[in-house]
Amino acid sequence: MQQQLTLQDIYRARRRIAGLALRTPLVRSEALSRRWDCEVWLKLDSLQPTGSFKLRGALNALLGLEPMQRERGVVTMSTGNFGRALAYAGQHLGIPVTVCISRLVPNNKVEALRQSGAELVIHGDCQDDADREARRLRDEQGLAYVPPFDDPLVIAGQGTCGLEIMEEQPDIDLLFAGLSGGGLIAGLGLAVKSVNPAAEVVGVSMREGAAMLASLAAGHPLQVPEVHSLADSLGGGIGLDNAWTFAMTQRYMDRGYKVDEVQIARAMLHFLHEEKMLVEGAAAVGVAAVEQHRLELSGRRVAFVVSGRNLSNETFAEACRLAGERPYAYL
């Protein structure tokens, strides 16, 4: 029987990654608090050195390797942010990193990976293609495969984000985060509900290609076509052999929502105008869900994980057009 992760695993992860991953600010959003008549807090993991929360899990995974595995190096697949985080962690720890991505990854993330010190492999038209190539390289070259989400060390690392939220605002009763492979929601859910079992954890995905939500509805992991989205970080499947995040998302996520591209665009523009932040579509889906689904938040204490800032000019321009604004005003 597979051992379950516990809050102690998240505390161990925090000790491991201290000094390399930041303890990021949790700031109050006055604009959203007024708009929804509640207390809104923003967890700014977009301020991590690699521009996303993914650094937490990447560091914990590499620091958990055996010495021989560190020497041989690691391989992963990514939609961009995890690969960048793993490359950064590998550079600081002296571990060779190979990152496999698909042709759907935006150019800005491809260029960042090229400059990261990792060996970059572009293969296939979706994340599943890139994953198959990563596993082939694992077998061919004897590399350690580091999953971007479905791994206990990665999940525990991402859970440190939730631990920080609850230490600063233990009365938070509703937490929103982007939902893709489930590593963030699994780690957040474990941390948050260990402190406050009554707190609700809400996952949000884009309208098309929401693999985890489709899998949860079916009761087992499904393969879902990957499509272009402003929330490109949320693309890709969860793996038909998913060992960790599917079950943990079932257990810890209370609700899941899908949001349309126009709503994601409007939420991204809210962050620009009201919060003075440029964020990825995946970082804005929680705000989009509240607006699109007209969620009643009056009197509640709500937190949103602002998960990343690795936004391309092209994606930002597309968001402006969808939101009915003039793109060149901000580029």
Same fold, 7-53+151-329 and 54-145: yes
DSSP 4-18: PP-HHHHHHHHHHHB
Q: Using alpha carbons, list the distances in angstroms from residue 73 to 20, 43, 137, 154, 165.
A: 19, 32, 11, 17, 33
DSSP β-bridge partners for residue 305: 43
CATH number of 54-145: 3.40.50.1100
DSSP-derived 3-state class of residue 301: strand
Predicted pLDDT at 330: 52
Segments making up each domain of the chain, as ranges: 7-53+151-329, 54-145
Question: At what angle are helices 54-63 and 81-93 packed, to 10 degrees?
Answer: 40
Higher pLDDT, 113 or 192: 192
249 class by beta-carbon count within 10 Å (0-12 exposed, 13-18 middle, 19+ buried): buried
pLDDT tens, 91-132? Answer: 999 999 999 999 888 888 888 888 888 899 999 888 888 999
pLDDT tens, 143-178? Answer: 999 999 999 999 999 999 999 999 999 999 999 999
Q: How many CB atoms lie within 10 A of CB 207?
A: 16
What band does 3 get if pLDDT is binned at 50, 70 and 90?
Answer: confident
CATH number of 7-53+151-329: 3.40.50.1100
DSSP-derived 3-state class of residue 99: strand
Contacts of 4 (CB under 8 A, 6+ apart): none
